């Protein structure tokens, strides 16, 4: 892993989040840390690739050090976003099924 300790810490936390909250779309198997790799890190944006240990299906996970809207100067500056897809809904269903926190935990920045 490249970068300084803070970057390594952020990567560790993101990978831990994936292993705790996400599972394979194809077969539902959970990920362990060695199944998740950081493929790209640019400013606050991270891209991770998770490979299912059971069926080898891969998924790309986009993550941010903090909610992206925190970096916008005003609500008017929110860029147009693509409509939610069926895959987005499936990912959230899997995530929320396993999530044990409340809305504050869901939206908080650690
Ligand atoms: Zn799988």
Q: Of 60, 13, 71, 64, whose CA–CA distance to 41 is shortest?
A: 64
**Would 22 be classed as within a structural domain?**
yes
Q: What are φ and ψ of residue 39, in 5° steps?
A: -105, -20
**Would 18 be classed as within a structural domain?**
yes
Structure tokens at 61: 């996970």
**Count of domains observed in the chain:** 1
CA 68 / ligand 1 centre spacing (Å): 29
**Would 96 be classed as within a structural domain?**
no
Top pLDDT among 2 and 109 is at: 109
Alpha carbon distance 61, 49 (integer Å) = 6
Pairing assessment for the beta strands 36-42 and 45-51 based on DSSP bridges: antiparallel
Inter-residue contact 31 to 19 (CB < 8 Å): yes
CA 30 / ligand 1 centre spacing (Å): 8
Q: Residues within 5 Å of ion ligand 1 by Cβ?
A: 24, 26-27, 29, 52, 54-55, 57
**Would 109 be classed as within a structural domain?**
no
Which residues span the domain enclosing 2? Answer: 1-67
CA 59 / ligand 1 centre spacing (Å): 10
Alpha carbon distance 35, 49 (integer Å) = 8
Least confident range from 42-56, 73-87, 91-105: namely 73-87
pTM reported for the whole predicted model: 0.57
CA 15 / ligand 1 centre spacing (Å): 17
pLDDT, tens only, 59-93? 999 888 776 666 556 656 667 788 999 999 999 99
Inter-residue contact 27 to 54 (CB < 8 Å): yes
């Amino acid at each position: 892993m490249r970068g300084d300790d803070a970057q390594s810490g952020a990567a560790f936390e993101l990978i831990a989040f994936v292993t705790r909250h996400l599972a394979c779309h194809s077969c539902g198997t959970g990920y362990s840390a060695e199944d998740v790799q950081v493929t790209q890190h640019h400013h606050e944006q991270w891209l991770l690739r998770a490979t299912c240990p059971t069926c080898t299906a891969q998924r790309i996970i986009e993550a941010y050090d903090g909610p992206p809207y925190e970096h916008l100067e005003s609500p008017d500056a929110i860029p147009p976003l693509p409509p939610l897809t069926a895959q987005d809904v499936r990912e959230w269903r899997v995530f929320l099924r396993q999530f044990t926190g409340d809305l504050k935990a869901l939206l908080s920045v650690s």
